[in-house]
Structures are given as structure tokens and as C-alpha cells.
Structure 1
Amino acid sequence: MIFAGKLAVWCFLLGSSSTLFYAVLYVLYGHEIPAVPSYYNYVLLCGHYLTMNLLIRVLLRGFNYQVAVRACMLGTIFACGMFTAAFAPPTYTIFGCYVCVLSFFHFSEFVAISACNPETLAISSFVLDHSTDYKIAAVTSWVEFFIESYFWPDMKTVRIIPAIGLIWCIGGEILRKVAMLTASRSFTHTVVSKKFEHHVLVTNGIYSVFRHPSYVGWFYWAIGTQLVLANPLCIIAYALASWKFFNDRITIEELTLLNFFQEDYVDYQKQVPIGIPFIKGYVLEE
């Protein structure tokens, strides 16, 4: 892993270390800590975040600064999620789990690229600015969660569905990162139109099970986030939207791969499924 990846790890941990404030409070006061954090606790959290950012600003410049400030932000968001999951009222604890899952995903995307294909590493590797549709989908899920929490709070306290969602998220996260590391330098966040010397057709490991394991992992991770939030409407919407996105993406990517690897990829298509239900990819006409 190159320096930028290591820097991201340290800054993520630095940001998430704000939970130490609450750990100390819990040790000192135990169950006397209020379920909803007081204004003073928020001041501590904000103070920690601002202090860390000031330190980063003083020590780093350029690309390293951009990496550090984003990783620290994601670490702080992860810490907020942990605190919410641990101390918020029962209706909102699952939102804390969701925040942890979301922030860790974006952090781990950058770190995984820094490990498997550092030549393509960029600020965009955090995937924080994926697309307008991605942002709209996220905000929509938050709106649904808080509306349902207000009018039907009991539906957010049933733990079986969020537990299943958390398993999906963890499984999808692991599958995607294993795929990225297995593909190594052949993995990129964008579909490339030019074949480079280091591009090889990866068919070993997890790629012997799924043709597009990184997409399979992301597909189930996305749906899992809505299971974690117990959002019935967004579970359906995310499943449909994610299916369409990956169907289009895989079709384009497989056309490129067929151009790159020709008959080798045709044989690979025949032997290994994609992994997402009802997506066939780009199939050459006989």
C-alpha cells in the first residue's frame, strides 16, 4: 500500500477516535449518560473534529491534504454512527449502524484502490461524488427513514430485518474488496476503453465464481443498507435502481472486455455467471 493509503487509514482512525470521549463518559458515569447526547457532548465531538482538521491543515498540503481531510471526515462520521448505535433511542440506533456502514464503504474504496491499483488512485477513489443519482438515492432513504420513524416508530425497532441487512452489507463489502484485490492492477473504478499492458483477464479466485464480483458485492451492499434502515419503499427502489445501473454498466463493460480478450472472454462468459439475478451481460450473436 502506498503512502496515501496509509495516510487515509491513520486519518480515518484519527477521526473515529472521537468516540474515546464517550467511552470515557461511559466509564465515569455508566448508565447515567442520557440516551440523547447533550449539547456539551456535541461540542466535544465538533471540537475534536475541528482540532484534527486544523492539525491536518498545518501538516499536509496538496493531494495528501485532500486525502487526509476526507478520511478524517469519514472517520468522524463513523464515530457518530457508533455513538448513535450505542446511545440513541431504540428507534434511531439502526440509523447509527447505517452511518457506520456507509462511511466505512467510502473509506475502504480508497484504501482498496491504493493497495490494488495505486496508479489510478485519485480523490475520486473515495467514490464520494459518484453521481447525482447516487446522492438523490441516499437523501431519499434518509427522508423515508425519518418520516417513518416519526409516524411509525415501532417499525424501526424490529431488529431482524436490520440484522439481515447488516449481514448483506458486510458480505457485500467483503466480496467487493476481495474482488478488487484479486483483480489487482486490472481493477478500475471506471470502464476503460483502452487496453494497457498490465490488463489481464482475471479468472481465478472469486472471479471463478462470479464474472463481476465487485458489482455483485456492491449490488447486495446497496440493498443491504436499506434493510438496515428498515425502509420498505427504498428496499424496492434500491433493488430496481441498482439492477438497472449494473445491467447497463455490465453490458458496456463486457463489450469492452470482448474487444480486449475476444474468444478468451467468450469462453469465460460461458463458464462463469455474472452473479446478479437476470443480468446476462453483452452476449455476442451466434
Structure 2
Amino acid sequence: MLCRDGTLSLICFIAASLISFSPELQFRLGFNIYATYFKNIWFLHAVQYILINVSALLAFRGFAYQIAIRALFLGYVFGIGILLSINAPSSWQVFGIYTTVLASFHYTEFLAIAWSNPAALSIDSFILNHSVAYGIAACLSWIEFIIERHYFNVMKRPSLVSYFGLLLCICGEILRKLAMCTAKHNFNHVVQNEKSDNHELVTHGVYNVCRHPSYVGWFYWSIGTQLILQNPLCLFAYALMSWSFFHDRVLIEEITLLNFFGEDYVQYQERVGTGLPFISGYKINS
């Protein structure tokens, strides 16, 4: 059952997406209302986005407001991404696909926690402020895309590479969300240092396929985003940095899990791999 905060976020996300579609929808239906007052479509979107944020400010307070403005932002970006992928020049369409994938990933992170572990729900569940390195990496991928589009326009048009990247993102996203919903209250975005009374070792479902399905999903999702953008430099950099990050993260987490569950986790390690390439995790006998 989705908690109240999750329901609020879902309503805001959907509402913002629909509002972002409204000028295009009215144009396709033959209405000319917006064109009478706005000559620039991006100025119209800016006005719409400001208005929905003012509405959120008037309607909500505190934690509910913080949820609403983030869900509205991600919903509007999601909608703009779809519009770009359909209407933009071909060399911008893959950026629209990427934008949609990025917005849906961050929103569904919050939604999955709201569904499976509402007690752990916080503003950080959107992971929009994941880390400085994450933000820098995203900005560098945008810069590479813009520069390469300027000098090698044909390189950025939709191709089998970008569609394969989209498929990789979808599969990675599904795997990560299945992991979160399978683990339920045992999942947390932050590695836990102390074992809670209801903390259990989850070995069924996708955890019977690999020990760290949420990391596996995120790893391949991150690589998929750069395949969508057809960014050769960031593809290599993302693969290397993501591998390094999850290598260290798995070591830290498995030391904690071995302290929590002892021999049960050792036996689990023997049966199931991490799922990440060339990462075996922390072994007591190694």
C-alpha cells in the first residue's frame, strides 16, 4: 500500500507531466490559445513551471512541500524529455530520451521507498543530492553531448546504440526496483552500521540471482545513459567510475553483513555471486 507521502508525490509527478504536455496537445487538437500570448514555447514552459510551483507553495507546508516541489520538477522534466524525443531535431532526440530516463529513475527511487519501506522515506530518497561526484559526472556528460553534437551532428542522431542504451537503462531500472521491493524494510540508500531488530537476510527473488541486484541495476543503468547519448568519453569514464564505486561499496557493505549475519551470509556468498563484473565482494578467507 502506498503511503500518503508517496501518493502525494505520484499525483504531483503525473500532474506536472500532463501540464508539460498541454501546449503540444492543444496545438495538435487545433487550438491556438497559447500561441496568442506566447511566441516562444520555452518561455511558456517556464511560466507553467513557475505557476505549478507557486501552487505547491500555497497548498503545502513542511515535508509535504519538499516532496511536492521535487516530484513536480521531475514530472515536468519527464514530460519535456518525451516532447524532445518526439518533436526535436534528430540530433536532440536522444537527449530527450536520456532526460526522460533520468527523471523517471530519480522519481521512482522515491516511489519505491514509499511503497516498500515508508519508515525510511526522506527527501534524500529522491537521491537528487546523491554526491558532488554524481552531479559533476552528469554535467560532464551534458557538456560532452553538446560539444560533440556541435562538431559531429550526425553522431548524435538516434541509432541502434542509443536504443540499446535505452534497453539497458530499462532493464537496470527494473532490476533495481525489484531489489528494493523484494528487500522492503531491509533496503536503505545508506549502508547501515547497526543491525535493527527487524533486519533480515534476504536471499529470495532477485537476491537468489545476485547478491547486490540494486547495485547491478544501477551499474548498467549508468552505462546505458551514456549509450543513449552516444558519449564515447563518458561511456568509458562512467563504466570505470561506477565499477570503482560499487567495488568499494560492496566491500564495505559485505563486511557489515558478515557482522550482522555471520555464517548465514558466508553460505549465501558461496551460493550466489555479486552480479557485478570482476567484483567478488569481501570474503573472510580471502
Give the TM bin, normalised by the shorter chain: over 0.9
Structure 2 unpaired stretches of 5+: 32-37
- Following the alignment from structure 2 to structure 1, what is the Cα–Cα distance between the partners of residues 158 and 16? 31
1:210-249 to 2 correspondences below 5 Å = 210-249=210-249
Tell me if the contact between 2:93 and 2:158 (Cα under 8 Å) persists in the aligned partners.
Answer: no
Deviates more, 1:183-192 or 1:73-82: 73-82
- Following the alignment from structure 1 to structure 2, what is the Cα–Cα distance between the partners of residues 213 and 76? 29
- Following the alignment from structure 2 to structure 1, what is the Cα–Cα distance between the partners of residues 158 and 4? 43
CA displacement 1:75-130 (0-9 Å, x = unmatched): 11111111111111000100000000001111000011111111111100000000
Q: TM-score, normalised by structure 1?
A: 0.95
AA aligned to 2:149 is: S
Per-residue deviation, 1:285: 1.7
Tell me if the contact between 2:166 and 2:224 (Cα under 8 Å) persists in the aligned partners.
Answer: yes
- Following the alignment from structure 2 to structure 1, what is the Cα–Cα distance between the partners of residues 8 and 150? 40
Structure 1 unpaired stretches of 5+: 30-37
* Local SS of the residue matching 1:192: coil
User: What's 1:32 paired with?
Assistant: none
Which of the numbers 24, 27, 30 marks the counterpart of 1:25?
A: 27
Shift in alpha-carbon separation, 1:237–1:39, aligned structure 2, 3 A: farther
User: What's 1:276 paired with?
Assistant: 276
1:171-250 to 2 correspondences below 5 Å = 171-250=171-250
* Local SS of the residue matching 1:28: coil
User: What's 1:259 paired with?
Assistant: 259
Runs of 4+ in 1 over 4 A off after TM superposition: none
Per-residue deviation, 1:24: 1.7
Per-residue deviation, 1:54: 1.3
AA aligned to 1:8 is: S
CA displacement 1:34-86 (0-9 Å, x = unmatched): xxxx8532232122211211111111000000000010011111111111111
AA aligned to 2:63 is: F
Tell me if the contact between 1:91 and 1:157 (Cα under 8 Å) persists in the aligned partners.
Answer: yes
Per-residue deviation, 1:158: 4.4
- Following the alignment from structure 2 to structure 1, what is the Cα–Cα distance between the partners of residues 239 and 196? 34
Per-residue deviation, 1:26: 2.4
Q: TM-score, normalised by structure 2?
A: 0.95
Tell me if the contact between 1:14 and 1:52 (Cα under 8 Å) persists in the aligned partners.
Answer: no
Identity %: 48
User: What's 1:169 paired with?
Assistant: 169
